Structure 1
Amino acid sequence: MLEKPNFQNGAKSTRVWCDGCYDLVHFGHANSLRQAKALGDHLVVGIHTDEEVTKHKGPPVFTFEERCKMISAIKWVDEVVEGSPYVTDLEILNEHACDFCCHGDDITLTDAGEDTYHKIKEAGRYREVQRTPGISTTGLVDRILAVAEKTNRKELAKSPWTGSSKFLLTAGKIVQFSQGRPPKEGDVVVYVVGAFDLFHVGHLYFLEKARELGNYLIVGLYSDQVINRYKGDNHPIMTLHERLLSLLACKYVSEVVIDAPMAVTKDLMEWFKIDVVAGGRFGVEDGADSDDPYKYPKEVRKFVEINSGSDVTTEKIIERIVKNKLEYMERNEKKEKKELDLINEMEKKQEWKQTS
């Protein structure tokens, strides 16, 4: 029985608990939380501390504060619990009046190789959703190291959970993530444009401040080819489709323009009825087209420069991983080995059942 039942309009509401490391927060995390929210009315998400993550998986790339901020900005999340235990138990569910815990159909293990959800599974308060194939934090770390070293990507595909096979986007997935509305008459429409590669807290603070300039935020998203032209060296790390879902999952974003032009023209502003164009204090990326992409909105006095207050960039995220390369490589290998050991054990048990 729940210790603190919840009621909405006289009827008991269903509170769903999710927890995790949520490192290098990506659209796979968002998709899991989207599915979890669909199982109830209120989604509570617990986030493990850096110390807990380091003990059981290895050092996180994003800091604890960054991970909490990123998860709180996913539009399906209602509440964040900071510092939740790595092994989920009934006490944490009861403390937050949650009916059950939800997780993807991969298995999360402790440093000792134990299923972190075994206690609530035994109590019958566990639900499962589908893991998003083709994306994982481990796989992203692998991509980043390949970009930094200018080598070809090494696919981690031995474990079906850690493996980072290519993500395939469908129209249905875009619809599931969008769930938006067109701008209404009287809305102040704000437009920003960029790469938004390895979606991070710097992007998030920028979008949050951009949204404050109006009440409908459109994000223009550069194509992979445009980013590669001005950044080169295997960029972008995440494909256009992956970056699209990361933006659509953000609660500050109302709409995304796919394969947006670099220049914000008069035609573009009139087409989308844009009132304000915002840009970051870092300006146009080095190597980009020499013409100022904000020339027209500046001429008509509809451009605002935003200081996000964060110095986190995609390049600095890459630097973190390169600086601790050996630790992250060991983390990836350790995680995959534990998963493969568990898979082998599960297969042996299945074979024993079939022959007995």
Structure 2
Amino acid sequence: MSIKETINSAKSGWMAGGGPEGDILLSSRVRVARNLKGYAFPHLLELEKAEQVIYAVQLALENQVLKDQANELEITRMSELSPLERQILVEKHLISPNLLTEYQKKALALRDDEVISIMINEEDHLRIQCLLPGLQLEKAWTLVNQIDDALEHTLDYAFSEDFGYLTACPTNVGTGMRASVMLHLPGLVMVDQVGAVLATISKLGFTVRGLYGEGTEALGNLFQLSNQVTLGHSEEEIINSLNSVTRQILTQERQARKALLHQRKDQLEDKVGRSYGLLKYAHMISSEEAMRRLSDVRLGVELQLITGPTSEQLTELMVMTRSSYLMHQREGKLNSMQLDVLRARTISTKLNQGG
């Protein structure tokens, strides 16, 4: 799949339904940060040096060892894409918002199925990422580790015997690993327990962020949970710890949903039914409201209160309804009212076809 095909499609490998714990957990992500010895960190790199880093990674990707491990990873420079195209990659969770700044220095290596992506000259020279549906942290780490080992056959990483892998941000020093899960927690939100649960998690050394990572909102009751510290912990310890905390949250969310079904079923059915009807028949809808209503419908589908749409289709609509994707499909600038009309039409078409 070419980068243009990736941008034109709202689907991605991590959206596939049927992942472990997929009723609550949308995706698992593991990424490692690596830097090349002898080069300044990306924010200090001049354009010429940044291009040298990209070229070095390209040579490593052409190494037959890596091809055997990861199939084809195609490099695209961010300068080759339009602002809308770059934003769509963020909305598909294939790159971070950081790759949008100083984009002339930056590039992306992406596997055909979009499960593996390597951000080049983001905060670090390499951010190797694997994104899988459901709770699959161990598998994601295995795939990332294979890519990392294969790249290291060619690339000379900045590494300290005392501190581990050296990174631009001190919190990434050590393993350089960040593991995260994307959780849909409408039950805990509705019973007004999500704040207490997330506050407890933060005290245990985990970070809770919004839909698109650091500094973003928890749109549609979606939260990203990740480890906060990498130094002094092995990759396996990080994975096991996150798995343990995640399973506790899954239990609490399921208890909240069960309580809602037993104690507030009429209210719950009314809420999800109204949202489903509005999404199917509204003439205009804002991005924020669309995310909120899609969250309600997803909850209704998982609790078997609604039949028709699948969780995979609802996840795809999270991308299809973003302003950047809608404008890209129309190949032109739309005002806010036109976007709201097109968004409603897009959702209605998808749901009425699916249901």
TM-score range, shorter chain: under 0.3
Larger Rg: 1
The alignment's TM-score, normalised by the length of structure 2, stands at 0.27
Q: Which has the higher contact order (CA 8 A, sep 6+)?
A: 2
